[in-house]
Amino acid sequence: MQTLLKPRLGAMMFLQFFIWGGWFVTMGTYLATTLGASGAEIGSAYSTQSWGAIVAPFVFGLVADRYVHAERLLGAIHLVGAVLLYLLSRAQAFGAFLPLLLAYMLLYMPTLALVNSIAFRALSNPRAEFSRIRLWGTIGWIVAGLAISYAFAWDSPAALAGGALSRTFLMCAVASLALGVFSFTLPRTPPLGTASGQRATLAQAFGSDALALLCDRNFLVFFVASILVCIPLAFYYQHANQFLTEIGVASAAGKQTLGQASEVLFMLAVPFFLARVGVKWTLLLGMVAWALRYALFAYGNAGELAAFLLIGIALHGACYDFFFVVGQIYTDSQAGERYRSSAQGLITLATYGLGMLIGFRIAGAVVDHYAHAGAHDWHAIWLVPAAIAAVIFVAFALAFRNVAVSYQRPGS
């Protein structure tokens, strides 16, 4: 089985992100068109991701670290998740949908850390090998979007009218069932706490050890910017598919996979930019990409300016990699060996937890504000996150000092 280790880990990553990408991208459209949800209600639905991110350090840092093999916990979660996804596909009203989704995301978000832990512990040279394993997760997300638009056409106008997007949850339930069973065949990953005798406290699981980093002015500026930049990010996750569908872009979910494909290309560019311009200007490139993408969304359309929309989608790689990936590298360089894990937990809690929670609420309120007679003024809506990103860009440029970090390509 050792000779099949990497294909098995790749299959784990593929299914893990196929499940997430298979319903997350189109959920806003589904809730608006099938369940008649408002912008605020859609924001509440997407906020379940943030609550899951807040709970994740507890599940991973305490339960997995102390008591349970990671692969067994992963399998159990995905088996329960399959049931919840099936129930989500059957929900007939938003009031029934939301608690099921919250339960699911409280379970799913910790699995993001679990799959990483299993891979890191199983690989003999994680620095050289992990990126190639993780790439299969991006491929899984892309395949899910392509399947929705091109294999099943669930986001076509006729299918939307019939509520076909509910089948995305059923598709992901099958994938979750498969991953749940498959997880029990993955390499044994016993709890480290049992072996080492060192067990994380609840406060440490949430990154309390890294709070000392906030005494450094530069890191504090980065920390605050990480929270704020999640506000424009939330607009994309929550409403981009709904926007594209409403203005008549065909196969919107399939086209949105351009964003994940571009992540691969921009990831390769990260070492070049870090070496040439440093952390500050690479982070600023990510911020300006947010402002540019939303300006393109504001002025693009499904006709002669459709290229604006495709470019805006493709900028997702720059938006995500140049800020979030570079931010993780910067955090790692500042934390050092002692605070490495807790520092990453702190940033994850700040971004996917607090930042996205705020962002989803604001995005929902803005969309509701610009809704009139069942239609949305998308031009005005997208100018809001564009302006937010521009303000963050200027403030960060003035407040953050450039620093150099060491970054090695995988395998170097």
Query: Do residues 299 and 219 share a domain?
Result: yes
| pLDDT at position 336 | 65
Please report whether residue 197 resides in a domain. no
| pLDDT at position 334 | 81
Concatenate the DSSP letters of all residues of 73-139 into one string. HHHHHHHHHHHHHHHHHH--SHHHHHHHHHHHHHHHHHHHHHHHHHHHHH-S-HHHHHHHHHHHHHH
Of 142, 160, 191, the position where a domain reaches its end is: 191
Query: Do residues 35 and 167 share a domain?
Result: yes
| Domain housing 27 | 1-191
Query: Do residues 276 and 312 share a domain?
Result: yes
Query: Do residues 173 and 268 share a domain?
Result: no
Please report whether residue 412 resides in a domain. no
- Cα distance between residue 186 and residue 104, in whole Å: 23
Please report whether residue 240 resides in a domain. yes
pTM: 0.84
Query: Do residues 186 and 222 share a domain?
Result: no
Query: Do residues 132 and 273 share a domain?
Result: no
Query: Do residues 187 and 214 share a domain?
Result: no
Of 149, 169, 191, the position where a domain reaches its end is: 191
pLDDT digits (tens, 9 = 90+) for 350-405: 888 899 999 999 999 999 999 998 789 999 999 999 999 999 999 999 999 987 66
| pLDDT at position 186 | 95
Please report whether residue 61 resides in a domain. yes
User: What does the block give as tokens for 207?
Assistant: 């990154």
Describe the chain by its helix, strand, coil percentages, rounded to 5.
80, 0, 15
Please report whether residue 411 resides in a domain. no
| pLDDT at position 190 | 86
Of 131, 157, 191, the position where a domain reaches its end is: 191
- Cα distance between residue 257 and residue 177, in whole Å: 24
Q: What is the CATH number of the domain that holds 67?
A: 1.20.1250.20
SS3 category, 375: strand
Domain count for the chain: 2
What is the dihedral angle through the alpha carbons of 207, 213, 218, 223, rounded to the nearest 10 degrees?
10
- Cα distance between residue 373 and residue 368, in whole Å: 11
Please report whether residue 212 resides in a domain. yes
* CA 279 vs CA 323, 331, 396, 405: distances in Å: 9, 11, 12, 7
Query: Do residues 218 and 183 share a domain?
Result: no
Query: Do residues 157 and 246 share a domain?
Result: no
Please report whether residue 374 resides in a domain. yes
Query: Do residues 154 and 52 share a domain?
Result: yes
Query: Do residues 113 and 253 share a domain?
Result: no
The pLDDT tens digits along the chain (412 residues) read: 556 899 999 999 999 999 999 999 999 999 999 999 999 999 999 999 999 988 776 666 566 666 788 899 999 999 999 999 999 999 999 999 999 999 999 999 888 878 888 888 888 887 678 778 888 998 999 999 999 999 999 999 999 999 999 999 999 999 999 999 999 999 998 876 544 445 555 555 555 666 778 888 999 999 999 999 999 999 999 999 999 999 999 999 999 999 989 988 888 888 888 888 889 999 999 999 999 999 999 999 999 999 999 999 999 989 988 998 888 778 877 876 556 556 766 787 888 889 999 999 999 999 999 999 878 999 999 999 999 999 999 999 999 998 766 544 333 3
Please report whether residue 343 resides in a domain. yes
| pLDDT at position 328 | 78
Query: Do residues 13 and 46 share a domain?
Result: yes
SS3 category, 376: strand
